[in-house]
Amino acid sequence: MVDLISQYEKIKPEVDRAIAEVLATAQFINGPEVRSFQTELESYLGVKHVIPCANGTDALQIALMALGLKPGDEVITPSFTYIATTEVIALLGLKPVFVEVDKHDFCIDPKAIEAAITDKTRAIVPVHLYGQAANMDEIMAIANKHNLYVIEDNAQAIGCRMSDGRMTGAIGHIGCTSFFPSKNLGCYGDGGAICTNDDELADKMRMIANHGQSKRYYHDVVGCNSRLDSIQAAVLRIKLRELDNYIEARRSVADRYDAFLANIEGVSSPYRNDHSKHVFHQYTMILEGHDRDALNAFLAERDIPSMIYYPVPAHRQKMFEHFGSGDVDMPTTDWLTERVISLPIHTEFEDDQMEYILSSLEEFFKGNK
């Protein structure tokens, strides 16, 4: 689905030098690379505070821990997402309240949020799924009206701009992202970050990520241990400078898929919403009247990967059975779950690879009419 080896080859001298420098100084934890990356990411996102941490799941967990919620408090989130978004809510003893997504852009449906608000609702966790933004203007308006926190799950959309230029992750009270290798800004191991414009929340989250420590060996709250290491930070500094180019490369792959799919019946290319500029973490089509398993097998035979993100929505996961969430009707989420399929997309596509994939798709869809 991604080509991280070719991408590395292009930045190899810089990356190797940066890693060697970290090794030479042996400042593996909290070294100057981490602080520099933090500052550079703050300025890229246009946000006051970035708190680097160990991974995107921790970022979400630390964000929720900072809100001072009580067991049983409700957090509204889409069911159509990666499990990490929803898992941390339950892990902290809070109640995930799953709602529908928009059928076109796959992001949480603001109308469904309003309908799900109760007197126990404390926060909303929208996900900028596949690389384009949820409807943040409507979500923030709902949150302000009902006095709720908004934590953006920006793991798939770092670098995505709203139509007015603001960046995803910097709009809600807190934004969370992941630097898992295959993400749009990926490191060479695990990594994540939290961002906020709120000084108080920033202090709290920094403390939580560091064993609840206020000053050395004084621990004020129960926290966790979540750090980005210096080697990852050194890699991320180099890749952050390339991020906008990487996004353009992804968008041009998406344009080529789009142009091809425009002539194929029963396949919808990804809808691009008006309020943000898609950064195509995934290129996800909707199939209607085509056999998805057959397409997956056909492509696999030709060594072309394809993936179903996600085959089981959160509300149907066994881990949430005790919330009775499987009993809730979510026709759009179920409909999408049965029909989506994602094609390879990354920053290093060669023309001949693209042509090979397109001709294989053509063969499948023409033979399958």
Residues that bind ligand PLP (CB under 6 A): 55-57, 81-82, 84-85, 127, 153, 155-156, 178, 180, 190, 192
Task: Please provide the DSSP assignment of 295-314 as one string.
Answer: HHHHHHHTT---B-S-SS-G
DSSP run (H or E) holding 226: none
Least separation in angstroms between CB 182 and ligand PLP: 8
Closest alpha carbon to 249 in 355, 134, 127, 344: 344
Closest alpha carbon to 47 in 202, 156, 203: 202
- CB closer to ligand PLP out of 267 and 337: 337
- CB closer to ligand PLP out of 105 and 261: 105
- CB closer to ligand PLP out of 189 and 212: 189
How buried is 321 (Cβ within 10 angstroms: 0-12 exposed, 13-18 middle, 19+ buried)? exposed
- CB closer to ligand PLP out of 63 and 67: 63
Least separation in angstroms between CB 171 and ligand PLP: 16
- CB closer to ligand PLP out of 142 and 155: 155
Least separation in angstroms between CB 127 and ligand PLP: 5
Q: Are 281 and 107 in contact (CB under 8 A)?
A: no
Within a 13 Å sphere around the CA of 345, how many CA atoms are in the beta-carbon half?
29
Rounded Cα distance between 44 and 37, Å, is 10
Least separation in angstroms between CB 294 and ligand PLP: 27
- CB closer to ligand PLP out of 133 and 264: 133
Least separation in angstroms between CB 60 and ligand PLP: 6
- CB closer to ligand PLP out of 85 and 121: 85
Rounded Cα distance between 364 and 164, Å, is 40
Least separation in angstroms between CB 93 and ligand PLP: 20
The identity of residue 32, as a single letter, is: P
Rounded Cα distance between 46 and 304, Å, is 38
Angle, to 10 degrees, between the axis of helix 230-261 and the axis of helix 351-367?
50
Rounded (5°) CA angle 336-341-344 = 145
Task: Please provide the DSSP assignment of 239-272 as one string.
Answer: HHHHHHHHHHHHHHHHHHHHHHHTT-TTEEPPP-
Least separation in angstroms between CB 56 and ligand PLP: 3
Least separation in angstroms between CB 155 and ligand PLP: 3
Which residues are within 8 A (CB) of 128 and not within 5 positions of it... i.e. 6 or more apart?
Answer: 107, 134, 152, 153, 154, 156, 157, 160, 168, 169, 276
Least separation in angstroms between CB 50 and ligand PLP: 15
List, in sequence order, every residue forming a beta bridge with 10; answer none if it has no partner: none
- CB closer to ligand PLP out of 45 and 187: 187
DSSP 166: P
Rounded Cα distance between 160 and 319, Å, is 31
- CB closer to ligand PLP out of 57 and 210: 57
